[in-house]
Amino acid sequence: MIQGSAVTANRNGIHVRPSRVIADEGASMKGSVTLHANGISVTNLQMISILCLGLKQGDIVEITVEGEDEQRFFHRLKQLFETHFDFPAEQEEDNHDTQG
């Protein structure tokens, strides 16, 4: 078992897109993962569970990994939580009809 922490680096926290990246990485994990932050613990790496942690920039997430290749997987999760994701901002489209 490996335990440690990561500091959320992304300017917008861990929102939908970064949580999807982390969840996709978790799909390859053979073993168990527990994440703890903001008084909440989750025991899987599903996108909705990661979002429930409400991670904002600067928040600390405690990571516990147990299982096959746990050291590599812990370091990968730590790296992902400490990544400055650079997803392009979505532009709102004006759906109003401007025809007269």
pLDDT score, position 97: 47
> Which residues span the domain enclosing 51?
2-81
Q: Give domain status of residue 88, yes or no.
A: no
Structure tokens at 63: 């990571």
- Residue 30 in domain: yes
Q: Give the Cα separation of 29 and 49 in Å (integer).
A: 16
Q: Under 8 Å CB-to-CB from 45, ≥6 apart: which residues?
A: 22, 23, 25, 26, 27, 29, 33, 35
pTM of the predicted model as reported, rounded to 2 decimal places = 0.82
| The predicted structure's pLDDT at residue 88 | 56
The verdict on residue 34 lying in a domain is yes
Confidence bin at 92 (pLDDT 50/70/90): very low
Q: Among 23, 16, 11, which Cα is nearest to 58's?
A: 11
Domain harbouring 14, CATH code? 3.30.1340.10
Domain count, the chain: 1
**For the chain, how big is the Rg over CA atoms in Å?**
16
Whether 23 maps to a domain, the answer reads yes
> Does the structure show a pLDDT above 90 at 79?
yes
